Amino acid sequence: MKEMKTDTLGDHLHWLTVLAEQGSFTRAAERLDVSKAAMSQKIKELEEMAGVLLVQRTTRSVRLTSAGEKLVEELR
């Protein structure tokens, strides 16, 4: 895991929980008032920090991997 500031990691984790709740990058980005590209980038950064895929993406859907589900469960 890369070293990061706690508040930045917290932001990344918050965005993941919003994505899990909303079930789509578009709705999550709207809720956070950011672009869909920024939302996707933040999740990719979190995956790089964690060293594991947290979200399965297709052109039509998004869902958490088992690692993503476990992390979100721990955060709740």
Q: Could you read off the pLDDT of 16-73 as tens digits, one per residue?
A: 999 999 999 999 999 999 999 999 999 999 999 999 999 998 888 899 999 999 999 9
What residues does each domain of the chain span? 6-75
pLDDT value at residue 18? 96
Residue 74 neighbours by CB distance under 10 Å = 8
Domain 6-75 has CATH 3.40.50.10470: no
Average pLDDT of the residues in 4-24: 83
- Write down the number of H helices and E strands in the chain: 4, 2
- Predicted local distance difference test score (pLDDT) of residue 4: 45
What's the predicted TM-score (pTM) here? Answer: 0.83
What is the mean pLDDT of the segment spanning 10-17? Answer: 92
Q: Give the pLDDT score at 1.
A: 45
